[in-house]
Amino acid sequence: MATRDNQAQSFGSRLVQVGFLIAVLVLWYLATTRWGVNRLLLPNPVAVWQQLLDVLRSGEYLPDLRVTLTELVIAFALAMTSGTIVGFFVSRRHSTIRVFDPLFAAIYSIPIIMFLPLYVLFFGLGPASKIALGATISFFPIVLSTIAGFGNVDRTLVTAARSMGASDFHLFRYVLVPGALPVILSGLRMGFTIALLSIIGSETIASLAGLGHHIVQLAEGMDMARMFAYIAFVVVIAALLNGLVSFLEARGRRWA
């Protein structure tokens, strides 16, 4: 529940955030118009804005956006399904938690993106390798948060439910899932973010299509203003997707 103080505070921090962005834009503008930074390295923000409008009007981004979003949706769906199912079964016993929790945490700390060449060898240059890599990378935060979520459901609540005659299904549906959900949801949000990150990242390294692919192409064509426009476009898309996921996450824990 936001108090007046809280609201004033969050308004204050919003103000600083907006101010920071404006300052960056102003510095960027000055750097290109007054301080003589090479246009090939840093295009004029006004030119970038015009390019962005052109990209949006023409709709030429659609095929690449479709490829990237398809990869993202499939990768995330795979990671979500496997991560939550594996996480749930691992969380059922102390012994399996002791084995798998540190194991997954250790793998999670490796930069899995370095296996991209291997993924390309196995799955080709097309979307399949991006999906496989994205799914692999986002599996880990999801499985770890699922183990933590189910593993840390308050024992008293489980005992209370059992004392009232709850069946295994009741326990799962009405106690374990809602109890674990807040933690699982933050894992899903994290998994989503890094799935997007790794998919766009791997598109820029080795791919045939997608937003990351397009950005690299523009860079190689020295079309810097348009490349920046695409970057801005991807930033907006990513922000929208993250906003959507955060919204869903907040809805999942509205009781707290």
Chain positions contacting other proteins, by CB under 8 A: 154, 156-157, 159-167, 170, 174-175, 178-179, 181, 255-256
Q: What's the N-to-C CA distance of the chain in angstroms?
A: 10
Q: 147 burial class (0-12, 13-18, 19+ CB within 10 angstroms)?
A: buried
With respect to other proteins, which residue has the nearer C-beta, 34 or 94? Answer: 94
Instruction: 94-100: list long-range contacts, CB under 8 Å, 24+ apart.
Output: 97/147, 97/151, 100/147
φ, ψ (nearest 5 deg) of residue 43:
-75, 160
Could you tell me the smallest distance in angstroms from the CB atom of residue 170 to other proteins?
5
The distance from CA 166 to its chain's CA centroid, rounded to whole angstroms, is 37
Could you tell me the smallest distance in angstroms from the CB atom of residue 243 to other proteins?
24
With respect to other proteins, which residue has the nearer C-beta, 185 or 234? Answer: 185
Could you tell me the smallest distance in angstroms from the CB atom of residue 182 to other proteins?
9
Could you tell me the smallest distance in angstroms from the CB atom of residue 239 to other proteins?
29
* Residue 187 three-state SS: helix
- What does the alpha-carbon distance between residue 163 and residue 111 come to, in Å, rounded to a whole number? 46
Could you tell me the smallest distance in angstroms from the CB atom of residue 93 to other proteins?
20
With respect to other proteins, which residue has the nearer C-beta, 35 or 255? Answer: 255
* Dihedral in degrees, nearest 10, Cα atoms 213, 219, 223, 227: 60
With respect to other proteins, which residue has the nearer C-beta, 44 or 84? Answer: 84
Could you tell me the smallest distance in angstroms from the CB atom of residue 159 to other proteins?
6
For 145, 166, 189, the CA distances from 101, given in Å and listed in that order, are: 10, 28, 19
With respect to other proteins, which residue has the nearer C-beta, 13 or 156? Answer: 156
Q: Which residues have a Cβ under 8 Å from the Cβ of 75 and sit 6 or more positions away?
A: 130, 131, 132, 133, 134, 135, 138, 195, 199
With respect to other proteins, which residue has the nearer C-beta, 111 or 165? Answer: 165
Tokens, residue 102: 């540190």
With respect to other proteins, which residue has the nearer C-beta, 36 or 165? Answer: 165
Could you tell me the smallest distance in angstroms from the CB atom of residue 220 to other proteins?
52
